[in-house]
Amino acid sequence: MIFYVLFSIAITLAYAIIIVLSIKGWKAIPTWEVRPYQPSTTLSILIPARNEEKNIRETLKAIAAQEYPKELVEVILIDDHSTDQTIPIAQSCSHLFSKLTILPLKEYIKEEETGSFKKKAIETAYGFSTGKLIVQTDADCIMGKNWLRTIVSFYETQDVRMGTAPVNFFKEKNLLERFQSLDFMGMMGITGVGIHYQFMRMCNGANMFYERDVFKEVDGFKGNEDIASGDDMFLLHKVAERYPDKIGFVKSVDATVFTEAKPTLKSFYHQRLRWATKNASYDDIRVLFVNAIVFFTCFAFVTALIFLPFDFYHLGISALIILLGKGLLDYFFLGMMSRFFHRSDLMRIFLPAQIMHILYIFSIGMAANFIKKYEWKGRKVR
């Protein structure tokens, strides 16, 4: 059990290094501010959608309201075999755009022909795109009116081939949703720092952009088309391999897109399991290393509690070291992130969120390695 105490100290120190570097790294990233300018980049906004009748109208209205020249924007919605009113509702919004193309994926591929529908949807939409810059978002996202101006001003002046920007949750109605909002802000911090220092690269398909030509250069999703999720991360890693210093992160509240957190434990579980199951397929060992440190920190705490009755003294010390060390580090990091995004109110639930984070990382990590089954958008995936 002495070994377990030493292991707890070592893993907490490793976790501390990650968080301290993340705090310093986030402060080092310049906050992006848009100066007066006239944008000239033509855009193709790709929106994969499946059963989004509750959200698609607001998403399209938010995009139509952008302070960006409408003649430079085309919107391509690719419907992934929806069984609701997603397409008719989207069609009713066509008058808001200079060019809105709605593509039913079922006309290009049958459901039984693939296990990676979102990748196929994006590839299909890409085939109809004409803009110099592809901007990708999801059909349940809302953006402020300066979203496009902010990310395009970054692209036009920072010499990047691909980039990503923050995604936040909003409209929280319960503790679970507020936890997800606070947790996701931390993920955005790690994302920005990893890209800024070229240490590890992550992104979110709800808010990313890349040159149309670069997608073709790296052969799109070729090589990981059989993996159900990961359309965003796999593409990012392929582009970064070819252009390691041409990836950017737009640190800006105006560049942020917003979506609603999962309202139930079941939907939250399946979402995070979907994200976690792709981890083993990443080529970037740095991403795997950081994920492993976070997992084993939480694993050590949970297992110490499980076996506490067998050695209360040593395992109690181990659990306390991890809880206090991780808790203090997360408090400073998440406090910084919540202030940046003007959501300091979320720190009120920090204590229960800390326990929820440990349990969620432990359970999802175990499930991703041993279960690997989840439901998403009415489909069962393995």
Query: Does 59 or 2 have the greater pLDDT score?
Result: 59
What are the two backbone dihedrals, phi and then psi, of residue 246, each rounded to the nearest 5 degrees?
Answer: -120, 30
pLDDT at 379: 63
| Digit-coded pLDDT (tens) for 31-72 | 999 988 899 999 999 999 999 999 999 999 999 999 999 999
Provide the terminal-to-terminal Cα distance of the chain, rounded to the nearest Å.
38
Considering the segment(s) 32-174+196-260 as one domain, its CATH architecture is Alpha-Beta Complex (3.90)
To the nearest whole percent, how much of the chain has pLDDT over 70?
92
Output helix, strand, coil percentages for the chain, rounded to the nearest 5.
55, 15, 30
Distances (CA, A) of 355 to 183, 194, 268, 380: 12, 25, 16, 29
Spatial CB neighbours of 304, under 8 Å, sequence gap ≥ 6: 4, 8, 315, 316, 318, 319, 322
**163-218: per-residue pLDDT in tens?**
999 999 999 999 999 999 999 999 999 999 999 998 888 899 999 999 999 999 99
Q: Alpha-carbon distance 20 to 255, whole Å?
A: 25
Average pLDDT over residues 359-369: 90
Domain spans in the chain, listed from the N-terminal domain onward: 32-174+196-260
Count CB neighbours of 32 within 10 A: 20
The pTM of the full predicted model, rounded to 2 decimals, is: 0.91
Q: Which residue has the tokens 């175990």?
A: 366
CB 240 within 8 Å of CB 191: no
What distance in Å separates the CA atoms of residue 264 and residue 329, rounded to the nearest whole number?
28
